[in-house]
Amino acid sequence: MSDSHSHEGIESSPRIAILRNPVQEYAWGSTTAIQDLLGQPQSEEKPMAELWMGAHPKAPSEVRVHGEWKSLAEIIENRPEPVLGKDAAGKFSNKLPFLFKILAAASPLSIQVHPNLQQAREGFARENGLGVPLTAPDRNYKDENHKPEIICALTRFRALKGFRAIGNILGLMDKVSPPPLSNELAALRKRPDPHGLKRFFTSLLTIDKGEQDRIVGEAVTFAGRYATDDVAFRWMIELNGAYPGDIGVFSPLYLNVVELNPGEALYLPAGELHAYLGGVAVELMANSDNVLRCGLTPKHIDLSELAKIANFRTETVDKIKPVKRGACESAYPTPAEEFLLSVISVNQGMSFSSPRDRSVEILICTEGEADIKDLGTGELLSLTRGKSILVPATVNQYRIEGGATFYKASVPTQVLAGVRSVIRTSSVERPSCSD
């Protein structure tokens, strides 16, 4: 089956279709990673930061229909149940519930946090009521959805995630903090709990900008003495190189520094402070672009709003390891209802067959090449590295054969089972591999 044939009928009878995806060209992006994945020339002037696969109104993917590329959001709006599946369409108000990305960070992203669902709805309505344009740089809420997310490393990937134990924060800060921070540290020492941590954090971020420059410069000089002892101090120096004098340079001392090897993942719930420092990864989230920032950025910062939605609990970092769902597929379980990330690997001796109990899926090939066959119609698509596809719910079952690795975004089966009020445990059909 040719690509064009697969696209022509997606509105009348949705079937497997190649996606054309928008790229976000943010300053922190890579000039090589996404370009290499897509087989495009490198460009020093246009770093590619994120490849978006989905139907977010800001930048929806496109599918070819009757010789023209059409918005996936429009296609879903016209025929939600055939594309999403009846249960997913009902639960998620006829919207694709997830946004799938390839993220390529050549330099650190901002320190940020995402709202929960209630906060997003209230904030979106409030800013609409105030007449703040959706494209305004000082707008906090771009939509009314929350944004839990999972990040899975394709290369070595570094991040900051959640607050360190307060004793650990004090120990690190004591080594490099100049005298002007003595009051803040004394207050945290006196009240080593979430309330005290919130007060410490907000007091750091509200220091006068000129004073911030002096404090950060002095602290980075001190950090050089300990750079061989702890990676947190090395990151202070690196962050200051990217964002000189930014008070967020202290963030590796109060947030957990994490390094992911390829295949390891992190789950970021609402309210958890985090920052991505560098590397290439697959990212899957609820269909939202709501971000509140508080450092390492030239963009808008609304500290009072961020302090309302951030949690100030301390925690250790748990990496998510994939769980086998058959010989060819491994999944990354999270509490999110909107999405499930999994990885499918096939080789010349082993093919993947999807379960029949499924809804909408998006897959991207990150290595190799393979054929995907609709087992109902017999239609076939050849996929190579960088190609992504939509598999609508009307495709009853499909098989992947060849030698390739795919990352797949789907809706968790148990969520759909809950919509139907059907208890499914061992009776849930698993994907299979066959020789």
Catalytic residues, by residue number, are 293
For residue 112, CA distances in Å to 93, 164, 220, 311, 365 come to: 28, 16, 22, 12, 29
Question: φ, ψ for residue 434 (rounded to 5)?
Answer: -140, 155
Q: How far is CA 353 from CA 82, 141, 349, 406, in A?
A: 21, 40, 13, 13
Burial tier of 15 (Cβ tally within 10 Å: 0-12, 13-18, 19+) = buried
Amino acid making up residue 346: V
- Let me know: does 288 contact 271? Beta carbons within 8 Å: no
State how far the Cα of 94 lies from the Cα of 200, in Å rounded to an integer. 43
CB 343: neighbour CB atoms within 10 A?
A: 20
Which residues are registered as beta bridge partners of 284?
100, 150
DSSP letters, 81-93, are HHHH-HHHHHHTT
